[in-house]
């Protein structure tokens, strides 16, 4: 019997797994997908919010501000990108300056440090490409940008190094209460466990309803984006919001940690929890809204568009805690934005919650806080590059010309303890396919390497999720 089973290997599940691996426990982290971070964690704005958006005294406000303080150290510890570039909420009229003042006051109430209201001159100094219609802004220097899926992979690797078991391709279908603990039925297995943590993203309400009366409903709220080429990355220096709209913080313009420009999202409530399609009309809305921030956004350099689904709860706040009358079953649900920013603090809180419920957790004296470092070939000096190529010639072969990724880095990403097994899994780990040609050149080589390293046929390598085959059969 496992001590703890965590359902959902997104940023929240991987943080909880890593936090619990600090104790001597049998922990299972399971997911229905064929990779970690294949839900909302793979498609979002990647902002570590400062914490002025959420209403004071909510879980969102508390964990956002706490998580923001923790994020940079954790990213450094696990060797994933993070940049504290600050954020601006821009007003385009004197009426909107009233909203700016409200956000400022809310930020003060939430204990967000160093907030400042900027006048037009100060704003233009920070952001020379801002629209001439801007009149002022709220500046939050503690906001940052990050690599959400890179962090989830790193957390999962670190958790597995510390003894956590990862089980992919297992969808939870049913859960029975046992005399002590729970029996989880997946499409492949039966799993007995003392405690369950439900962090199943858009499906967290359905997992909850397997053991208790319905208490909340999760609506999938889709957001669509444009990703622009690296040459557009310097259009803005910080994360630039407009004033919030009814169900969203609105369309944002920001650089990514890899130097691209990201523009989006819109917000559209759907019924279908799998609908991550992009649509012309919504992307047009994103484009028009973003032009309000800056007319200088070079939309002729768009390299791709994508969509993600917020797990939006009807309770409006994060739902985190043991279900009443259902001992040892913890919901971590409704983790919409700022869930990413809040995730380190949520992980810590949930581990403490279980520790208090059980009362006998013992620390793991062998816990290691770092993971095996990866080689980022292009960041090395010429001497270091030559040294590595001498040891392993695969680092001398460039597979992705747009992003300068070597075969050695791809092979390493496949053979890590939470290795990639799909084309997009490799793309999200080490970036072949993220460049201007979007894999047009490197994708067939990545498939060949995956097939060779995993001992599979070319046709058995999926693009991303289950049933996303690229090649079906050989023609010649
Ligand atoms: C458009 C958009 C923009 C956002 N921008 C930001 C931002 O800039 N900053 C920020 O802080 N937050 C942002 N967020 C929110 C943030 O992305 C989420 O809060 C966070 O990714 C949620 O992580 P999670 O682990 O809870 O969910 P997920 O990543 O969705 O993980 C849940 C996992 O559960 C698995 N699962 C579901 N059902 C089952 C089942 N039956 N059996 C087994 N496994 C199951 C799924 O496969 C999935 O991997 C944004 C969200 C969206 C959609
Ligand atoms: O649109 P929201 O409010 O869900 O926020 C999403 C991101 O955090 C910012 O783009
Ligand atoms: S060669 Fe890899 S993205 Fe272009």
pLDDT in tens, 452-471: 999 999 999 999 987 888 88
Encode pLDDT of 310-323 as tens digits.
999 999 999 999 99
Residue 434's nearest CA partner among 233, 215, 133 is: 233
Check residue 465 and give its pLDDT: 82
* Residues annotated as catalytic (active site), given as ranges: 49
Instruction: Using the mean position of ligand 2's atoms as its centre, give its distance from the Cα of residue 17 in Å.
Output: 25
Check residue 472 and give its pLDDT: 82
Mean pLDDT value across residues 144-148: 98
Question: Would the CB of 115 count as within 6 Å of ligand 1?
Answer: no
Check residue 230 and give its pLDDT: 95
Residue 411, C-beta contacts closer than 8 angstroms, at least 6 positions apart: 394, 449, 453
User: 395 pLDDT exceeds 80?
Assistant: yes
% of the chain surpassing 90 pLDDT = 97
> Could you give the 3-state DSSP secondary structure of residue 310?
strand
Helix 339-358 crosses helix 11-20 at what angle (to 10 degrees)?
40
Mean pLDDT value across residues 422-449: 96
Q: What is the pTM of this model?
A: 0.98
pLDDT, mean over the chain = 97
| CATH number at 2-41+149-217+315-358 | 3.50.50.60
Instruction: Using the mean position of ligand 1's atoms as its centre, give its distance from the Cα of residue 470 in Å.
Output: 25
Residues paired with residue 182 on neighbouring β-strands, in sequence order: 177, 193
> Could you give the 3-state DSSP secondary structure of residue 225?
strand
- Do residues 66 and 338 make contact, with C-beta atoms less than 8 angstroms apart? no
In CATH terms, is domain 377-460 a member of 1.10.10.1100? Answer: yes
- Do residues 167 and 13 make contact, with C-beta atoms less than 8 angstroms apart? no
- Do residues 63 and 216 make contact, with C-beta atoms less than 8 angstroms apart? no
pLDDT band at residue 65 using 50, 70 and 90 as cut-offs: very high
Residue 346's nearest CA partner among 329, 333, 363 is: 333
Tokens of 395: 């680092």
Question: Would the CB of 238 count as within 6 Å of ligand 1?
Answer: no
Q: Where in the chain is the domain with CATH 1.10.10.1100?
A: 377-460
Question: Would the CB of 239 count as within 6 Å of ligand 1?
Answer: no
Q: Which atom of ligand 2 is nearest to the CA of 221?
A: 4
**How far apart, in whole angstroms, are the C-alpha atoms of residue 228 and residue 297?**
9
Question: Would the CB of 172 count as within 6 Å of ligand 1?
Answer: yes
Encode pLDDT of 198-242 as tens digits.
999 999 999 999 999 999 999 999 999 999 999 999 999 999 999
Report the run of H or E that residue 97 belongs to, with start and end: helix 94-109
User: 8 pLDDT exceeds 80?
Assistant: yes
Q: Residue 431 phi/psi, 5° resolution? A: 85, 5
Q: Which of the ligands is closest to the CA of residue 8?
A: 1
Instruction: Using the mean position of ligand 2's atoms as its centre, give its distance from the Cα of residue 250 in Å.
Output: 7
In CATH terms, is domain 87-141+219-311 a member of 3.30.9.10? Answer: yes
Q: Where in the chain is the domain with CATH 3.50.50.60?
A: 2-41+149-217+315-358
**How far apart, in whole angstroms, are the C-alpha atoms of residue 446 and residue 410?**
8
- Do residues 157 and 37 make contact, with C-beta atoms less than 8 angstroms apart? no
Q: Which of the ligands is closest to the CA of residue 223?
A: 1
Q: Where in the chain is the domain with CATH 3.30.9.10?
A: 87-141+219-311
């Amino acid at each position: 019997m496992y001590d703890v089973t965590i359902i959902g290997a997104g940023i929240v599940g991987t943080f909880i797994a890593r936090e619990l691996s600090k104790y001597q426990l049998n922990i299972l982290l399971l997911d229905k997908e064929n990779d970690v971070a294949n839900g909302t964690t793979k498609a979002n704005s990647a902002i570590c919010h400062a914490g002025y958006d959420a209403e004071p005294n909510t879980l969102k406000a508390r964990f956002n501000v706490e998580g923001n303080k923790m994020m940079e150290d954790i990213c450094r510890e696990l060797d994933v990108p993070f940049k504290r570039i600050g954020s601006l909420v821009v007003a385009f009229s004197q009426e909107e300056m009233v909203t700016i003042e409200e956000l400022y006051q809310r930020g003060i109430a939430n204990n967000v440090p160093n907030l400042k209201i900027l006048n037009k001159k100060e704003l233009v100094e920070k952001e020379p490409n801002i629209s001439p219609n801007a009149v002022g802004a709220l500046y939050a220097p503690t906001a940052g940008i990050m690599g959400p899926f890179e962090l989830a992979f790193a957390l999962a690797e670190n958790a597995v190094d510390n003894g956590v078991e990862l089980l992919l391709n297992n969808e939870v279908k049913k859960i029975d209460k046992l005399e002590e603990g729970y029996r989880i039925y997946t499409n492949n297995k039966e799993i007995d466990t003392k405690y369950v943590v439900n962090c199943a993203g858009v499906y967290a309400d359905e997992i909850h309803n397997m053991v208790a009366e319905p208490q909340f409903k999760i609506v999938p709220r889709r957001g669509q984006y444009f990703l622009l080429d690296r040459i557009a990355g310097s259009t803005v220096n910080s994360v630039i919001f407009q004033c919030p709209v009814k169900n969203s913080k609105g369309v944002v313009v920001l650089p990514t940690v890899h130097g691209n420009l990201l523009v989006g999202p819109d917000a559209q409530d759907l019924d279908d929890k799998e609908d991550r399609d992009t649509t012309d009309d919504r992307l047009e809305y994103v484009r028009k809204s973003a032009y309000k921030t800056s007319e200088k956004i070079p939309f002729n350099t768009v390299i791709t568009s994508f969509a993600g689904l917020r797990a939006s709860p009807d309770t409006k706040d994060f739902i985190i805690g043991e279900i009443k009358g259902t001992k040892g079953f913890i919901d971590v649900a409704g983790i919409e934005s700022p869930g990413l920013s809040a995730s380190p603090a949520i992980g810590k809180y949930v581990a403490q919650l279980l520790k208090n419920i059980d009362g006998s957790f013992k620390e793991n004296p062998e816990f290691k806080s770092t993971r095996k470092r990866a080689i980022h070939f292009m960041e090395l000096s010429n001497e270091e590059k030559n040294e590595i190529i001498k040891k392993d010639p695969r680092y001398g072969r460039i597979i992705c010309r747009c992003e300068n990724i070597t075969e050695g880095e791809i092979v390493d990403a496949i053979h890590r303890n939470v290795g990639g097994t799909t084309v997009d899994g490799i793309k999200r780990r080490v970036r072949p396919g993220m460049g201007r040609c979007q894999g047009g050149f490197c994708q067939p080589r990545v498939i060949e390497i995956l097939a060779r390293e995993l001992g599979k046929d070319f046709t058995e390598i999926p693009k991303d999720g289950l049933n996303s085959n690229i090649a079906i059969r050989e023609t010649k």
